Structure formats: structure tokens, C-alpha cells
Structure 1
Amino acid sequence: MKTNFVKEVLKSGGHVIGSEVSRLPSSEVPNIYAAAGLDFVFIDMEHTPFNLETVAALIRAARQEQIVPIVRVPQAEYAFVCRVLDAGAQGIIVPRVNTPQTVRELVSWMRYPPHGIRGFACTAAQTDGQAVGLETFMKAANEETLLVIQIERVEAMSHLDEMLSIEGVDVACLGYMDLTIDMGYPGQIDHPDVVAAVDRIIETANANGVAPGIISPEMNVLEHWVSRGMRFISYATDAILLQTAAISSEQQLRSICRQTNLAPSQNMASANN
């Protein structure tokens, strides 16, 4: 079975980088991300219309490449967690994790007995079609699956120490837009109270052997918080990356046309006369 190199790198104190699939349900996206050298592809089910069949296809595409598929489930429910793991996801991201009880349930749902209550399913999606012994499969599934919990509410901050002390949490990921809204400072990531809260997430995570993480479409935000200790880093989305590349290309092409004193619109007009 595949090892989860994202989990290995984080355990060793390193950084991992990835990007989100949220608009383009094509297997080409994980392939492109892998070719670009990203460590993981973050497949979102919380803010997208993606169904399980679409997500399973994206996971398959990722597993064929050197990139780790991590799925954000819509919410903390056993059925969501187990179905995406059975589909071959090597990690899950769970939004709005606010209590130690929820963390304990998540860890239990992700693991086979005696360490959890996950229902057994040795699917080809998890083994890549290889024959794997029962004990080997269960041990690998328990040890290699990554758990990312998102800290997005003031309630979560009040339980932070206990939540991150629970064995089985790999990443404490800041949901900074939701957290700033819940704190009463919408979008103000640089507000002193928000900065103090994020610093506390980083410090508490590090104290418990958990990697601090952040998801953001803004490179300057990532640069700032990586310098302060964030190690699980997800930048932008498929749509944002495509739009950014399209805008950059358009600007360069317009510049080239201006330099030659012949804009495409002028050229087309002359051809039609």
C-alpha cells in the first residue's frame, strides 16, 4: 500500500504544499498539480457540488501520480469520513471542529478496531488493486491516514489545548476567514486579537506534536504565517490558478500587440474590410 509521504514530512518537522480542486471536476487537475511538484491535492466537498463519484475519480487520478489526495468532507459525520476513505483518500480535512468529543469521534471513525470503529472495506481504491493481507491492510490504513481538523470558531479556541492533545490529530488548520468572522473581525487577519489567536494555534499545535496549517488564496498571507510556523500550506484553487494564468497571459499578449502597434481587434477589423 502507498505510504503517506505528506504525513511523513510533517512528522519530521517539514513543510508540505498543495492546492485545492473546487470547480473543475477533471482528472487532469491532480495530474497537473503533481507535474507542478505539489505534495497534495485538496479535494473539496464542503463548498462544491462535487458528489462522491466525482471525488472518487479525482482520488484515483491523484493516486496514479506522486501526489497525496486529501478530501475535505462537508462536516464531521461517520458516513462522509468512511466513504471518502473507502474511495482511496489518504487524508481528510474536517471543517468546524469545535470540541474534544468531535475529535475523538473522528479519530475513531478513521481507524479500524481495536483503535476505532471504522467498518471494514478493503477496496481496490485503497490498495491500488494489489493483494494485501488483512492485518497489513488494517495497520497501514490506521497509520497512514492523515487527519486535518479546521479551527474556525471561538468555541474551538476555548477547547484548543484538549483537542490538540488527543492522539490521532495530525494537522490543526486555521480557517481564518470563518474564525475572523466568528471573532467579530470579518477578514481582518492582521487584527491584534486574531493574530494572538493564530499564534496560540501554532504554539499549541507545536506543543502537542501537531503540524499547524493554513488554507489561503493570498500568497502574502501564506508568506507571513509560514514565517511564523505554519507547515501544512494549501494555496488557492484550480479556478483561481487558471484565472490568474489567464489574466497574466492576456496582459502579456496585449503588451506584445501594443509593442507591434497592431492590436488583435485592429487586425480583425482590417481583415473584414
Structure 2
Amino acid sequence: MKVEAWNLVRNVVKEKLARDEVALSMTVRLIRTAEIVTIAKTAGFDTFYIDLEHSSLSIETASQICMTAMNSGVAPFVRLPNLASDVIARILDGGALGVIAPHVESAEQAKQVVRAAKFPPLGERSHGGVLPHMGFRSFPTSEVGEAVNAATMVVIMIETKEALAAIDEIAAIDGVDLLFIGTSDLCASLGIPGQFEHEMVRDAYAKGMTACRKYGKHLGVGGLNAHPKLVAQFVEMGARYVSTGTDISFLVSGASAKAAVMRNL
């Protein structure tokens, strides 16, 4: 029986978003081995992103984790350390099903990410041979490009007042799948650091949701894992991708709670 390229690569986040369901994500900054994939799956996460911006993890480590995740039904994304096209190519060729691009403040920068992340005709990503997404099988270039483009997500972070001002133009770009609001950094940029319940934050999410609905994109919530009521409000507003916290925070909070219980015995 012939194996077709588009039957080999699957992104559960895209599938959930298409069904208007919430996709839950965790952030990997500490764990350097594939065990984090099984932990994420057992805990019930749909996806995780490996944060190469705020950690010392390498592209090689990220690739090993991503390849394990692809075979476990958990969608692996990588938060980019920068917007360089060669970095984006290496991360995606290594097994990621999406890139999360920080420090994007204009439509042109968002286009740059799409060009690097997508194969022609949508982008300019180079075909470098067999991919882990295809089980290292060989397929016609056109089939690989179509299948991988369909499964690969481009996520643009909205974390500055400049990005917020350009959010409509960014959402309009073909190839951008999701706008991910980095609430903490956005608050700092707006001059209201730590004021997550400020009206300007609600206005930012409302503006983001309007842009996403206008252009058929999706909205993500970041930086609010300590504020579940706010997350619930933004999900009710229409956000469907939720970042819940880091492996570091989960470990510290769990360990701290257990130590407190045992010390009070």
C-alpha cells in the first residue's frame, strides 16, 4: 500500500483550533531529555514549546525532543532565539511542527518568518532532503512541501506596543496561523508592568481577537498562568491557545507545596 506524505505529518494543535477547541501548552526551559514529552502527554497537554530564547537549550536538544513528540501525538513547537532564516530552517528541519517568533513588531518582520518557515510557493524554505516529519522517507518535493506547509504553524508573538499597533497588518499575512500575546512583556511595553487586569490589557486582547476573526487566524494567551480567571475571560472572548507555565515553575511549585506539607506534619 502506498504511503502518502500528507498522511505522515499531523499537528494536533491545528486540528483542535480548526474545531474551535482550546489547545493547552506548556513551556520547556529546563528538561533536556525526551522524558518531558511523556510528562506533557500524561499531564494532558496538547503541545509544548521549547524556549530557545530564555534558556540554554541547544537546537540539537530541541530537535531530539521534537522528534520524540511527533511520534507521541504531542505537537512540538520552538520559541525562536532570533528571527534568522537559517535558525528557523534548522529548527523546523530538526522536527518542530511550528515556530513561535518573538520580537516581531511589523508586518514585514512577520513576512520574514513566514518566508523562512514555509516551502514554496508560500515561502522560501529550502528543501534539504528527507525530514523526520516524513519518517525519513523520500517523497516528491511537491508532496513534502504541501504536507509540511499544512502542518507547520507560524506563531507571531505580540509583546510590544509597536506589535500591538501593527496587529491588523500582521494578522493579514498569509502563512501566519496564530497571534500569541505575551502579556507580561506587553504590559511592560505599555507602561503598566504587572498590571494584568488593566483595561489596556483587555483592549489589547479585544484588538487581537478582532484582527484574528477578520483574517481567519487564532489568538493565544501567554504570561497569565498565575491568573486563571483572566485566562478564562480571554478564552470566552475567543482565544484558543493557552500557555500554562514552564517546566521549571511546575517543578518548583510542586516541590514547594510538598515540602510545606511535610514540614507542617
Same fold (TM over 0.5): yes
Determine the structure 1 residue equivalent to 2:245: 236
Is 1:218 equivalent to 2:226 in the alignment?
yes
Give the deviation of 1:189 after TM superposition.
Answer: 1.4
Determine the structure 2 residue equivalent to 1:252: 261
Give the deviation of 1:250 after TM superposition.
Answer: 2.4
SS at match of 2:96: coil
Counterparts of 1:26-105 in structure 2, within 5 Å, are: 26-105=33-112
Task: Please tell me whether the aligned partners of residues 86 and 122 of structure 1 are also in contact (alpha carbons under 8 angstroms).
Answer: no
5+ residue gaps, structure 1, are 259-273
Determine the structure 1 residue equivalent to 2:3: none
In the TM superposition, what whole-angstrom CA distance separates every residue of 1:104-140 from its partner, at most 9, and x where no partner exists? 2221211222222111123342222334332221111
Determine the structure 1 residue equivalent to 2:115: 108
The percent identity for this pair of structures is: 28
Determine the structure 2 residue equivalent to 1:167: 174
Structure (1 or 2) with the larger CA radius of gyration: 1
Give the deviation of 1:219 after TM superposition.
Answer: 4.5
Q: Work out the CA distance in 1 between the residues paired with 2:154 and 2:120.
A: 17
Q: Work out the CA distance in 1 between the residues paired with 2:205 and 2:28.
A: 25
SS at match of 1:85: helix
Stretch of structure 1 that moved more, 10-19 or 146-155? 10-19
In the TM superposition, what whole-angstrom CA distance separates every residue of 1:227-273 from its partner, at most 9, and x where no partner exists? 33221111111111111221222233345xx3xxxxxxxxxxxxxxx
In the TM superposition, what whole-angstrom CA distance separates every residue of 1:62-98 from its partner, at most 9, and x where no partner exists? 1231100000001222012111000010011000211
Give the deviation of 1:153 after TM superposition.
Answer: 1.1
Task: Please tell me whether the aligned partners of residues 41 and 62 of structure 1 are also in contact (alpha carbons under 8 angstroms).
Answer: no
Q: RMSD value over aligned CA atoms?
A: 1.6
Report the residue type matching 1:238 in the other structure: D
Report the residue type matching 1:224 in the other structure: Q
Task: Please tell me whether the aligned partners of residues 122 and 175 of structure 2 are also in contact (alpha carbons under 8 angstroms).
Answer: no
Aligned structure 1 segments of 4 or more residues deviating by more than 6 angstroms: none
Q: Work out the CA distance in 2 between the residues paired with 1:131 and 1:34.
A: 29
Q: Work out the CA distance in 2 between the residues paired with 1:25 and 1:223.
A: 31
Task: Please tell me whether the aligned partners of residues 91 and 145 of structure 1 are also in contact (alpha carbons under 8 angstroms).
Answer: yes
SS at match of 2:27: strand
SS at match of 1:244: helix
Task: Please tell me whether the aligned partners of residues 220 and 242 of structure 2 are also in contact (alpha carbons under 8 angstroms).
Answer: yes
Stretch of structure 1 that moved more, 218-227 or 20-29? 218-227
Give the TM-score normalised by structure 1: 0.88
SS at match of 1:105: helix
Q: Work out the CA distance in 1 between the residues paired with 2:98 and 2:38.
A: 18
